[in-house]
Structure 1
Amino acid sequence: MEHRPCGRAWRLSALLLALALLLSGCWSRRELNELAVVVAMGVDLHRSGYKVTAQIVNFKEASKNTSSDVMSVVTYQAIGESVPEALQRMLGEVPRQLYLSHLRVMVFGEALARRGLTEVLDFVARNHQFRTDFPMLVAHRSEASDVLKVVTPIDNIPANSLFSSILVSSKKWAATGRVTLQQFVARLDLEGSDPVLSGVEVIGDKTKGTTDAIWHTLKPNTLLRHSGLAVFKRDKLVGWLEEQGSKTVNYLLNDVSTTNTTFKCPDDEKRTISMQLQRVESEIEVVLRGEELTGFNVRVRAEANLDSVQCPIDMGKPDSIPAIERKLEERIVQVFDRHVGKVQKQFNVDIFGLGEVLHRRHPKIWKKYKRDWDEHFKETPVTVQANVKLRRVGSIVQPLKKDMVTR
């Protein structure tokens, strides 16, 4: 009788048992009381290299439901010729091992952003502890350390407050944007496209925002506010866009969930109408004459709900709603024309991704413009067409001012 199969099975079982004995279970397990969990990190320029700020959770206090005189986070700083060196030096003050996998937000000082982010991003993208889905911000007119030292009034962990506010504002207000490490690096790799980052600034007295006194007042002296978009040429900050310019960028990038806008009444320039825009979509068309680029056509489509009417317009008339839609379309085109032109002439960087559209749809023609795209982008006409449909007028039809006499 042949017994080879049984012998082979026995040898396989012995091998598996030996391998099992070599396993040590959770070999990479780390106890929470051995770690310093970094939830926010800021990087600034320093004459010696970089100044790195880490916001670390004090879990003993953060887990309490009652108020305490002890902060839920602690901020540490260190300086080094490189970011990893600064983090290593920080271990001389932090009593635990830094844990970076729960980073919620990263902030760059404006001076660093103007010099360039490549060196810092190389470390972050290369380090296996960092995820790639956290939002990145630029401190507007300040250092990242100033931002991370501010105590927030609603959430006792400032990093969580920053993270939540950028999520909410990016969904409900088109003037900001949630740009992650992965998205920023991807835009750097695209041909014919430059990146943007959302800005954050300290409002009020920086020196009074670092204590828990903010929890004991109805009107905080210091707050953090998201402030427009930082415009980059490759990895270097070249300027800022305020509210309307930031909205224009997000419209063109199809990165608008819902937002609000206000414009003049059709028959009364002294009064306004407020609308909530939803389902905003833009489509970019490349205009060619043979193999020559002559421009781009942008078509913006949006649905809108009526929020507020300050003018005595008769909403019962059949031509009232079309008149409002036309007025909003004119407003969108006006904002686009002004801010697209500003980006072309003042910054000369294609943050709209028009070159990337040309590259994707007409790769052979793109080769003619690739080398000097910034100069071509600066001179290429961009026309905008808007189409808005008013879907809802609210729970009342006629405005409350309809029967009032306009003075």
Structure 2
Amino acid sequence: MKRYLLFVLRIAVAVSLVLNTGCWSSNEIEDLSVYVGLALDVAQESKFEQGIEKQGASYPKHNMLTATVQIVPPVTGKGQKQGGTSSEQATTYINEKLTGDSLIQIFRQFALRRDRPLIGHHLKVIVVSSELAKRYSLEQIFDFVLRDNDIRPSCLVLVSHRNAFESLSTSEPGEIPAIYLAGLVKNRYRSNKIIPPVSLIKLDSRMQSGSSFLLQNVITSENEHKFSGAGIFKGSTKKWIGELNEFDLEGLSWFSFDVIGGAVKTYAHEGYTITYEPKRSNSKIIPKVQGDDISFHIKVSSEGSLMEDWSFPEIPSSEEYMRELEKLFEKQVNKQIQQVLYKMQHVYRVDVGGFNEQLRIKYPKVWNRVKEDWDETFSSIPITYEVDMNITDFGSSND
């Protein structure tokens, strides 16, 4: 019996040795250039490119866009990057850019200046400048990116208010801008100025649907970055046509996204600051059809805390006073909704609030009749709204 068990054990060990062999086609990470960020801008040749072209190092192309890749150098020793000088050893990333008219050709050109090929398996974020997206459709700009098997479809897509390459730079020691930007979307539970993240696969889906959509906008100043508003992309052209500011996004979030954080600030009659923090919210976009007439009604309800009141040193117990504050907060949210609806219908004439989806679900026949020119139809549709705010507590303070 013991001999039999020993024989079985030997066979099991032999099989495990065969199954646990390494991948014959693997590439060591030290032999690759792993890029985590990609910025796409209107063509602007670097001094390096201008210099080498004067020496005849060029190929037939039109300068249409500039691609900046953010590479994380492999670590070979404690606190050192492979091949780095003493000044380079403290660098946590390297930004390199090339210009051309074909993104895949640009990527292949990097093989002429880097001894390690680019690998996009860990790409975290793609930032496209609004100026580039104004000139060319996102279908053109992202055609190669959507075809490339190296790039994961979960990659975050953002739009930059100015040059996209600026968003991949920082003066913060040890920080990698691409990873920093990808992490900002996790703060949605703290702010209703952040839209649900748009990944590469979601972007492709929205472009295929033909509907207008938003991309989170990132702005840069002094090598520091901030999410601020959202870029608007026309469904028929897939081009950037304008943007919503932070105040607009707050209004849009009340009826288009789940408000799971943030703050509503307004002022009491005496001019003192009062602030409400939503804890729970619910919204409905209700389509109504009568003959050929289409209209929408928005219902928003929220429960939350009175988190700041500069008009009273202590927590008030008056029910009448609390109802008065609720009306003030409702007025503020109404103002936010009114402003964003005005911009959607009369400034940009696009539906980026999901009204089309609600009409499609409830009245599919009507939707099939109007979907071809929906943005234009939407711009003249009557929309009413009502807001109900309910203060349920005063934070951690007691009466």
TM-score by length of 2: 0.82
CA distance in 1: counterparts of 2:219 and 2:321, whole angstroms: 41
Q: 1:253 aligns with which of 252, 256, 262?
A: 256
1:132 to 144, 153, 158: 153
Which residue matches 1:49?
64
The match for 1:237 is 240
C-alpha distance 316-64 of structure 1, shift in aligned 2 (>3 A): same
Relative to structure 1, the CA distance from residue 36 to residue 139 in structure 2 (aligned partners, 3 Å threshold; closer, same or farther) is same
What's 1:298 paired with? 298
1:239-285 CA distance string (max 9 Å, x none): 011111112223332243211120122xx241121111122322110
Residues 195-214 of structure 1: matches in 2 within 5 Å?
195-204=213-222
8 Å CA contact retained: 1:83, 1:123 = yes
SS at match of 2:42: strand
Q: Deviations over 1:276-329 (max 9, x none)?
A: 11223221100111x323310111122212211011387211222222222212
Matches within 5 A, 1:336-355: 336-355=337-356
Residue 152 of structure 1 deviates from its aligned partner by 4.6
Q: How many residues align?
A: 353
Amino acid in structure 2 at the alignment position of 1:158: P
* Per-residue Cα deviation, 1:352-387 (whole angstroms, up to 9, x for no partner): 121222122211111221222222111111111112
Paired position in structure 2 for 1:194: 212
State the Cα deviation string for residues 39-90 of structure 1 (Å, max 9, x = none): 1001112261221100000232897399975301111111222111111111
2:264–2:332 Cα contact (<8 Å) kept: no
What does residue range 123-162 of structure 1 map to in structure 2 within 5 Å? Answer: 123-140=144-161, 142-148=162-168, 150-153=169-172, 155-162=174-181
> Which whole-Å CA distance do the structure 2 matches of 1:368 and 1:233 have between them?
20
SS in 2 for 1:319: helix
**Aligned residues of 1:50 and 1:86 also touching (Cα < 8 A):** no
Contact 1:314–1:320 under 8 Å retained in 2: no
Question: Can you give the 5+ residue segments of structure 2 that lack an aligned partner in the other structure?
Answer: 1-17, 44-61
| 3-state SS of 2:308 partner | strand
Instruction: List aligned pairs for 1:249-288, cutoff 5 A.
Output: 249-265=252-268, 268-288=269-289
Residue of 174, 189, 192 corresponding to 1:171: 189
Q: What amino acid does structure 1 have at the position aligned with 2:307?
A: D
2:363 matched to 1:362?
yes
Q: CA RMSD in A?
A: 2.5
Using the alignment, how far apart are the partners of 2:300 and 2:76 within structure 1? 49
* CA distance in structure 2 between the aligned counterparts of 1:32 and 1:65, rounded to whole angstroms: 15
Q: In the alignment, which residue of structure 1 is the partner of 2:48?
A: none
Name which of structure 1's ranges 272-281 and 24-33 shifts more when overlaid on structure 2: 24-33
Change (3 A) 1:302 1:94: farther
Q: Name the structure 1 match of 2:52.
A: none
Distance of 1:270 and 1:139 partners within structure 2 = 36
Identity of aligned residues (%): 25
- The answer (yes or no) to whether the contact 1:175–1:229 under 8 Å persists in 2 is no
Q: For residue 311 of structure 1, what is the aligned residue in structure 2?
A: 311
8 Å contact kept, 2:154–2:201: yes
Partner amino acid, structure 2, of 1:303: E
Contact 1:263 1:328 in 2 (8 A): yes
Question: In 2, Cα distance between the equivalents of 1:63 and 1:241?
Answer: 46
Residues 218 and 227 in structure 2, CA contact (< 8 A), matched pair in contact too? yes
- Provide the C-alpha distance between the structure 2 equivalents of 1:318 and 1:154, rounded to a whole number of angstroms: 51
Q: C-alpha distance in 2, partners of 1:248/1:120?
A: 30
Per the alignment, residue 383 of structure 1 pairs with 384
Q: SS of the residue aligned with 1:341?
A: helix
Amino acid at match of 1:250: S
Shift of 1:397: 4.3
- CA distance 1:80–1:139, shift in 2 (3 Å): same
Aligned AA (1:58)? P
- Helix, strand or coil at the partner of 1:55: strand
Residue 89 of structure 1: which of 104, 109, 124 is its match?
Answer: 109
Distance 1:334 1:239, change over 3 A: same
Q: Quote the Cα distance in structure 2 between the aligned partners of 1:273 and 1:369.
A: 44
Preserved contact between residue 36 and residue 123 of structure 2 (Cα < 8 Å):
yes
The 5 Å alignment of 1:23-62 reads: 26-46=23-43, 48-60=63-75
Given residue 172 of structure 1, which amino acid in structure 2 is its aligned partner? R
Q: Is the 8 A contact 2:264 2:333 kept in 1?
A: no
Q: 1:62 to 1:24 in 2, by over 3 A?
A: closer
